[in-house]
Amino acid sequence: MRSPFDILEAYERRSLAHAVQLPEKQFSADIWRGVGYRVGKRRLVSDFREVVEIVPMPPVTPVPGALPWLLGVGNLRGNLFPVVDLKCFLEGEPTGYQEGQRVLIMRQAGGDVALTIDELFGQRSFELHQQVEAGDIAQGRYAHFVDRAFRSDDHDWGVFSLSLLSRTPEFRQAAA
């Protein structure tokens, strides 16, 4: 009489004998990957290494005396973090909030920060030959954070540096 373990082992051998192997996916070094999103009229992408996660807009508790772009403090799984209206910080105009609003969580020295975005596009991959000048995407305050862009499907995507944003003195000082 076979043990239950022997029966499971035989079942596994038979299953593996009939399994279809998927081709191994090769990732080329000349492909740039990031998270795509929209702020105002600009389509932006940030490197995956700069985005901790993307979550629904948390409830926000206002901070008295803060600049208008600091919406307040949010709570995610017991961790408190500032919630910043990225469009307001960059363009001086508040983001129009809607149901299902998402925020990007980025890491900075001293803790995570949530950045509001207008629309989330998810993962974006670009081949290096798609790289173009940043042009209009890098106008105004965006020029400090966008140094290049990629063109895909008739849209230019500015590469927005969240790590540079987190080191900007004005961004780190939200008190009015």
**Chain segment 110-129, per-residue pLDDT in tens:** 789 999 999 999 999 999 99
pLDDT band of 153, cuts 50, 70, 90? confident
CATH at 92? 2.40.50.180
Q: What is the pLDDT of the chain when averaged over all its residues?
A: 88
Number of domains in the chain: 1
The verdict on residue 128 lying in a domain is yes
The verdict on residue 5 lying in a domain is no
Rounded to two decimals, the pTM is 0.79
- Cα dist from 39 to 7, 44, 152, whole Å: 57, 7, 18
Q: Record the tokens describing residue 137, joined without a space.
A: 């995407």
pLDDT given at position 124: 95
The verdict on residue 151 lying in a domain is yes
Q: Radius of gyration of the chain from Cα atoms?
A: 22
- Three-state DSSP at 54 gives strand
The verdict on residue 89 lying in a domain is yes
pLDDT band of 43, cuts 50, 70, 90? very high
Assess contact for 127 and 31: CB atoms under 8 A. yes
Average pLDDT on 139-162 reads 94
Q: Which residue has the tokens 């239950």?
A: 4
**Cα atoms in the 13 Å half-sphere on the side-chain side of 69:** 20
Under 8 Å CB-to-CB from 81, ≥6 apart: which residues?
A: 73, 74, 75, 105, 111, 112, 113, 114
The verdict on residue 44 lying in a domain is yes
Buried-state track 49-85, b at ≥16 Cβ within 10 A, e below 16? ebbbeeeebbebeebeebeebbbebbebeeeebbbbb
Average pLDDT on 22-51 reads 83
The verdict on residue 25 lying in a domain is no
The verdict on residue 9 lying in a domain is no
Whether the pLDDT of residue 42 is over 90: the answer is yes
pLDDT given at position 2: 79
The verdict on residue 10 lying in a domain is no
* CA–CA gap between residue 164 and residue 170 (Å, rounded): 12
* CA–CA gap between residue 115 and residue 128 (Å, rounded): 27
pLDDT given at position 23: 53
Domain housing 92 = 31-171
